[in-house]
Structure 1
Amino acid sequence: MVRKLKRKPSAGSRLFQAANTLFMLALVVIMLYPYWYVIMYSLSDAKLAGSGGLFLLPKGFSLAAYETVLGNAAVLSGFKVSLIVTLTGTLLATFITAATAYAISKSRLRGRKLFTLMILFTMLFHGGMIPGYLLVKELGMLDSYLALILPSAIGAWNIFIMRSFFAGIPAEVEESAYIDGANDLVIFFRIVLPLSKAVLSTIALFMAVMYWNDFFSTILYISSKDKWALQAVLRDLLTNTSTAMQSQGISIAYQQEISESTIKMANIVVATLPILIVYPFVQKYFVKGAMIGSVKG
């Protein structure tokens, strides 16, 4: 039995590994510290936070900014709207994208090249904001949740990523299903989709982040403030913090415990926290799906 000899790393190799590790750690700190700064600032006392400097820990721990933000009825309403729009939009968009991509990935589809060119055309040319608004108006979707969901429910780039993945599934898998008597719908739902968890999770995450962060659609299509998504509500609070505090009936004494800056930081944390909570659970699918979609096709 031949024993494998372990080669001892040279001094140059160890030095490179150490330098590489330090560089990556520095890169992680540079990327994470801005968000850490926002969290620590939002948890700090208003007077101490105003002194500036680095924030490794809160300066005079205080939850006053979060009490103000989460105590605002508009924020809670916006959170509910964003949750409804994000969940509904993500499920709908992922299904429509998968169905479209699966169809154009099959060479037996009549007019496949024409449909592909039509989808590609939307990547190069866009109707614009005003035609889009007029279309939503003519469809009777103004001031409704549908205006926040349907216009963004499908994207050409996501379709082509998913098409590349579906094209990589061995044809023998589907042929075996056909022999067993399965039709296209059965194959799509029971075979193709279960095999596509990675790319489906990737597209779903893309769409969820897009829907959650979208505030322009709310401003453009929604006139009733009780139907505003969270991002639009927080944007309104960020630009009109003093007015918002007064409209909430916050006393002058309590306003001294908070500041516009701490409220703005708390707004940022509230807006980004849901995505940060969800991402670790889909990270492995996201990385795998993104890599497959980028190299196949």
Structure 2
Amino acid sequence: MYSFKRQSASSAIFEIFNSVLMLIVCFVTLYPIWYVIVNAFNDGADAMRGGIYWWPRQFSLDSFQAVFRSEGIMTAMGVTVAKTLIGTPVHVFFTAMVAYAFSRRELVGRKLYMFIGTVTMFFGGGLIPYYLLIRDLHLLDNFLVYILPAAFSFFDLIIFLSFFREIPPGLEEAAKIDGANDFKIFYKVIIPVSMPVVATIALFHGVYQWNDYFTGMIFINDTNLQPIQTYLYRVVAQSSSNQMLASMPSGMAVSVTSQSLKLATMVVTTAPIVFVYPFLQKYFVKGFMIGSIKE
């Protein structure tokens, strides 16, 4: 009895400590986001005085009006939406198709391909060879630079492969008896029963496409083809925020500063994916658990 009480007391102390620690971690993680939002909705000139931590002191939407007045932000938003909507299904289709081929034991050289693919996950040629490759493929200042290089991922292939191996082989055998070829089996049998992993990979890559700023920064010089995250980078670097301030009406410019423009742009560019993510988080968790537990 004494041992049981001591163990219960230890468990309670651990639970309390763990809860407090998790609350601290959550606060440290979420407060910077809240700080950005609060200051973005505050009057820019007033925010320069500091002292704003929890709520806007002088609520103002002038910074957001200035952001949406910018000619480039809507174009950049359109590029991001387009590359996310196009690049995600392309990536899912090609990665799933290659993973299905890898799942077939009769594939000649399967172990060699797996070894080569695994090496590419840890070693790369570097930025300069990659840039030269993109240049030789005529993808500089080309919208396809967002789609083609990201059409396949070996890491996502492994996730697909783990799921495909759990599909009963009897499904494929039944389809073959009905006269279906490999490609028809893939999109008529394999894909429909693999929708959980398809949704998971689609979310992985969709978030990547939305958040990717590096591709637009390195391979795109045409501002009409730059995504919203690259636009945000330019604003944070002040090359665009000063231009936005110069183009504003004189009355609005009094309450808007370069810093408030940066914060408002951060909120505008990250809000869509932040609002979507909580509803789809279960698919991300399931994606990491695929293949890890077998009944």
TM-score category by the smaller chain? 0.7 to 0.9
The structure 2 residue matched to 1:167, chosen from 155, 165, 168, is: 165
Aligned residues of 1:162 and 1:293 also touching (Cα < 8 A): no
For residues 112-147 of structure 1, what are the alpha-carbon distances to aligned partners after superposition, in whole Å with 9 as ceiling and x for unaligned? Answer: 223222322322332322222222222222211001
Q: Any idea what SS the aligned residue of 1:152 has?
A: coil
1:64 Cα offset (Å): 1.0
How do 1:136-285 residues align onto structure 2 when only pairs under 5 Å count?
136-240=134-238, 241-247=240-246, 249-285=247-283
1:281 Cα offset (Å): 3.1
Aligned residues of 1:161 and 1:294 also touching (Cα < 8 A): no
For residues 55-99 of structure 1, what are the alpha-carbon distances to aligned partners after superposition, in whole Å with 9 as ceiling and x for unaligned? Answer: 222221111111111111101100001111111111111111111
2:111 aligns with: 113
- Residue identity in the other structure for 1:218: G
Distance 2:51 2:190 in 1: 54
Distance 2:50 2:201 in 1: 40
User: Is residue 96 of structure 2 the alignment partner of residue 98 of structure 1?
Assistant: yes
Q: Any idea what SS the aligned residue of 2:149 has?
A: helix
1:11 Cα offset (Å): 5.7
Aligned residues of 1:143 and 1:227 also touching (Cα < 8 A): yes
Distance 1:225 1:159 in 2: 33
Q: Any idea what SS the aligned residue of 2:224 has?
A: helix
CA RMSD in angstroms comes to: 2.4
- Residue identity in the other structure for 2:271: L
1:48 Cα offset (Å): 2.9
Q: Work out the number of aligned pairs and report it.
A: 288
- Residue identity in the other structure for 1:235: Y
For residues 132-190 of structure 1, what are the alpha-carbon distances to aligned partners after superposition, in whole Å with 9 as ceiling and x for unaligned? Answer: 22222222222110012211221221111221221122223323333343332232223
Moved more, 205-214 or 172-181: 172-181
Task: Work out the percentage of aligned pairs sharing the same amino acid.
Answer: 40
Distance 1:216 1:77 in 2: 18
Q: 1:125 to 1:19 in 2, by over 3 A?
A: closer
1:36 Cα offset (Å): 1.3
Gaps of 5+ in 1: 1-8
Distance 1:17 1:246 in 2: 51
The structure 2 residue matched to 1:68, chosen from 51, 66, 69, is: 66
2:40 aligns with: 42
Distance 1:38 1:226 in 2: 27
